[in-house]
Amino acid sequence: MLFKSEIRPNKNYLHNQKQEFSGFINGQSVHPAARQTLFGRFKGGENGCGWIAVYNALLLCGEFLHPKDIILYLEKRGGSILFGALGTFPPALPRFFKAVGIPAFGKLTPRAFLTRKNPPLDELCKSCAALIICYAHKKGAHFVAAAYKNGVFLVYNNYGSDSSPREYKSLENGFFGRDKRLVSYCLVSPKSG
Per-residue pLDDT tens over the stretch 148-175:
999 999 999 998 889 999 999 999 988 8
pLDDT score recorded for residue 44: 81
SS (H, E, C) 118-186: CCCHHHHHHCEEEEEEEEEECCEEEEEEEEEECCEEEEECCCCCCCCCEEECCHHHHHCCCCCEEEEEE
Query: What mean pLDDT do residues 28-48 have?
Result: 89
| Average pLDDT score over the chain | 89
- φ and ψ at residue 51, rounded to 5 degrees: -70, -30
Share of the chain above pLDDT 70, in %: 92
| pTM (2 d.p.) | 0.92
In this structure, of 23-27, 40-44, 81-85, 183-187, the range with the lowest mean pLDDT score is 81-85
Residues in the chain: 193
pLDDT band at 192 (very low <50, low <70, confident <90, very high): low
Query: CA distances (Å), 149 to each of 125, 139, 152, 165, in order?
Result: 10, 30, 6, 12
pLDDT at 80: 78
The torsion angles phi and psi of 10, rounded to 5 degrees, stand at -120, -175
Span 101-129, mean pLDDT?
90
Domains of the chain from N-terminus onward? 3-190 (3.90.70)
CB atoms within 10 A of CB 6: 11
